[in-house]
């Protein structure tokens, strides 16, 4: 029980990587607040957690909205009395398109959900973590935050921004015994990756199968990343074993390189 008696907020906790993190945290003894915009998927995750004895709380929250974020944090405190861990996982894939064809609205929405939300959530929990002199903040970035990613410019820019946010916060908060790290997944199996592959295949005029092979062949392991492996790394960083790790950007990508 690596996270026994810890309280965690996980944004985007209803599906994909966020769901796997929520389940892994609960299995390790944490009480979890699963946050997202779709109540039905959040409740499905909560039901799974309850099935093995966990204590989940569902918070329907648009984490790009400052006042909804404040309410989410209030809900966590009302339910469990403290917050030990924040996982900023909420994000959208955004458009697959040349930059010259993008609208200002689509750019702004990717930044709002993928980057501004992490700022808002971190800002909301930091005072409490400083007061208790402990805390963990994990920002889910991407290998796209470490490389050029043509046709996915808003997404890449938001994920590069997550790395700057993480490194800077680690320096700001280190003296308060708060660790801040980023996780950079590579191509990860699931619905979002399937949609990204389809969109990129369409834009490049190739088959979905060829596009998928391109992503897989770009990894050293020649396979997609399993989201449970990402969850396991987040558990490690949020456990006592990760207490001396901060300001890092850990790739879990199967050795992905372009």
Annotated catalytic residue, options 149, 155, 215, 256: 155
End-to-end C-alpha distance for the chain, whole angstroms = 38
Q: Are 147 and 96 within 8 A, CB to CB?
A: no
List, edge to edge, every strand of the sheet that includes 135-140.
56-60, 31-36, 7-11, 85-88, 135-140, 178-185, 249-252
**CA–CA dist 140, 54 (Å, integer):** 23
Q: Is 215 a catalytic residue?
A: no
DSSP 224: P
Helix (H, G, I), strand (E, B) or coil at 31: strand
Q: List Cβ neighbours of 27 (8 Å cut-off, separation of 6 or more).
A: 52, 54
Catalytic residues, which ones? 155
């Amino acid at each position: 029980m690596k996270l026994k008696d810890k309280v965690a907020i996980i944004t985007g906790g209803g599906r994909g990587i966020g769901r796997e993190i929520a389940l892994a945290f609960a299995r390790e003894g944490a009480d979890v607040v699963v946050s997202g915009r779709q109540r039905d998927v959040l409740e499905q995750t909560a039901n799974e957690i309850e099935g093995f004895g966990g204590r989940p709380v569902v918070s329907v929250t648009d984490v790009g909205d400052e006042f909804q974020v404040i309410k989410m944090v209030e809900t966590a405190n009302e339910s469990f009395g403290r917050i030990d861990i924040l996982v900023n996982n909420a994000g959208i894939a955004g458009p697959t398109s040349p930059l010259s064809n993008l609208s200002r609205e689509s750019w702004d929405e990717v930044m709002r959900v993928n980057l501004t939300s992490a700022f808002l959530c971190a800002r909301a929990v930091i005072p409490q973590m400083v007061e208790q002199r402990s805390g963990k903040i994990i920002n889910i970035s991407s290998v796209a935050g470490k490389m050029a990613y043509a046709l996915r410019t808003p997404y890449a820019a938001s994920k590069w921004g997550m790395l700057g946010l993480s490194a800077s916060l680690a320096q700001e908060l280190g003296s308060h015994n708060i660790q801040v790290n980023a996780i950079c997944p590579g191509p990860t199996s699931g619905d979002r990756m399937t949609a990204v592959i389809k969109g990129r295949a369409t834009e490049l005029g190739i088959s979905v199968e060829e596009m998928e092979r391109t992503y897989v062949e770009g990894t050293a392991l020649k396979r997609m990343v399993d989201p449970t492996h990402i969850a396991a790394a987040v558990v490690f960083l949020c456990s006592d074993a990760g207490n001396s790790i901060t300001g890092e950007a850990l790739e879990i990508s199967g050795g992905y390189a372009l």
